[in-house]
Structure formats: structure tokens, C-alpha cells
Structure 1
């Protein structure tokens, strides 16, 4: 049995609203490549902005990399790092 955190649920909602994925964000595994699922670089910027607004954080320059937004898990990890700062 897998458990879904509220952060993961929010990330998936934001991906559904802004990620322009070719598949339902709910159907993707936590490590599925979002770019392979159809997210473009432009959509990833929209996802990042929506995440910043939702979680009241700002992604620093060193986190503005494709691998940070590659999967639900990598986004959740990045948000955890920002929360710890």
C-alpha cells in the first residue's frame, strides 16, 4: 500500500492544472518522468510559478534545473529542502 502526502496531492493538482501532460497526473508513478509524459519547458515554468504561489516559497537559481521538476518525487524533495531552510 502506498500513501499519498498532502504535498504530493497538491503537486499532482498543480501538474494537472499547469503541466500540460499527455496523461492524467494521478496515473503517474512518483518517479515517472514528467517530460516524457508531455510536460514542456514552458509548462514546467508555469508549474514552478504555481508551486511557489501554493507553498509560499521561491525556488532559488540553483534549483531552476530540469531535474528538479522531472518527477513528482523530485518536486516534493525540492519543496522539502525549501521548507527546511
Structure 2
């Protein structure tokens, strides 16, 4: 999951640095992720993982870092399995 998220972040995030240089807990917004890019990233993640972000997880915190994105995707995937 981490590799897929990083690949999408590299492709869609528009960051001024290589995504490989970022720690999993690095603040993506401080690294240059814009609101527009976060929406593009969200759409890419939805497609890659065949999920849909619920409204309650569409917030800055969910996209704050690679680790936060992984956690959010895991919550959605686990919830889908339970439902």
C-alpha cells in the first residue's frame, strides 16, 4: 500500500521534492501538497484501491502524511469488508 500511495503522490502531488525523500510521517502540506493536488491524490487513491472516501474522512488530517493516508485507506478497506 505504501508504494502505491507514494507512486500516486509522486504522480499527482506536485511536490517540489522526490517523494522517496519524505518520511512516512512527514507533513505533506509543509512539503508543498496543495488543496487541489490533495483532491487529485484522493481521486487517484480511490481508483487504485477501488474505494470511496466517506465525507467524514475528507479532511486535511487524512492526507497529512503518507502514514495518515495509509491509515485512512485501511479504515475504509476494513469498513468495506465488515459492511
* Fold match (TM-score > 0.5): yes
Gaps spanning 5+ residues in structure 2: where?
none
Deviations 1:47-70 (A, max 9, x none): 000000000000000001001001
Question: Does the alignment pair 1:43 with 2:37?
Answer: yes
TM-score, L = length of structure 2: 0.93
Q: C-alpha root-mean-square deviation of aligned residues, in Å? A: 0.4
Gaps spanning 5+ residues in structure 1: where?
1-6
Q: Which residue number corresponds to residue 54 of structure 1?
A: 48
TM-score, L = length of structure 1: 0.91
1:79 to 73, 76, 82: 73
Q: Aligned residue pairs: how many?
A: 79
Displacement after TM superposition at 1:35 (Å): 0.6
